Amino acid sequence: MTRIDAKFADLKARGQKAFVAYVMAGDPDYDTSLEIVRGLPGAGVDVIELGLPFTDPMADGPTIQLAGQRALEGGMTLARTLQLAAAFREGDDTTPIVLMGYYNPIYSMGVDAFLAAAKDAGIDGLIIVDLPPEEDSELCLPANAAGLNFIRLATPTTDDARLPRVVENTSGFVYYVSITGITGAAEADAGDVAPEVARIQKASGLPVIVGFGINTPEKSRAIAEVADGVVVGSAIVSKIGNCDSPGDVLAFVKTLANGAHTTD
């Protein structure tokens, strides 16, 4: 059982939904980023999504693109991202960390070397947005064999014919992208999300976490009512990009987490 599996089992036992926070590793700089990441569990975050900076983030909107650019300009690399995760692990051995990004930096390091380094750093799962199920042998299957959850994205365009292939080797949870398009582009609607979540739960047997278009405590609560949890990324990254202090960022995160945790 991974930390992700243990976390969702614990949340289910307590009748609580998950709150997942995305931050870009190294944004706006390594030290500030580490301070924010270390503060996330205390702000109510159940799972940390740690963004891996990349030069061509095709699925991300301007807010996260700029965060990645700031991190890269500050010297952030895959190796330093894993270093940040390892530093977090020195004080927290229970909060799951999911590394989210693109395949190129992992390919450049080498899959075997990356998986060994990720395990050593305390990474629990991967979301690699540009590796489709047809490429599972490339990273998904080796990651699962190494004890890492490989988390797949499902979208409003993932129809019943495609869904079984998408969830076939997925573990940990399924990330449902609630809107079509890039991050930060529109708002999620609980009425549209609910039947899709039920469909994916039935097909996968896994928790379904909804992301994209969630930016307020009210929206966090509304989506958590119909899913197993919510992910907030762009709204948090925007606070960091506006030079809010780590304390202000974490206070904002806490309001979002409280929304997800106060479902009926």
| Model confidence pTM above 0.75 | yes
**DSSP 8-state code for residue 181:** S
Contact of 237 with 36, CB cutoff 8 Å = no
> Structurally, how many domains does the chain consist of?
1
User: What residues make up the domain containing 153?
Assistant: 3-261
Gap between the terminal Cα atoms of the chain: 29
Q: Residue 130 belongs to a domain with what CATH number?
A: 3.20.20.70
Question: Which of 136, 130, 210 lies closest to 177 in space, CA to CA?
Answer: 210
pLDDT digits (tens, 9 = 90+) for 130-162: 999 999 999 999 999 999 999 999 999 999 999
Q: Is the peptide bond before 28 cis (omega within 30 degrees of 0)?
A: yes
Positions annotated as catalytic residues are 49, 60
Distances (CA, A) of 148 to 31, 103, 123, 166, 185: 27, 16, 8, 17, 30
pLDDT digits (tens, 9 = 90+) for 168-189: 999 999 999 987 655 545 566 7
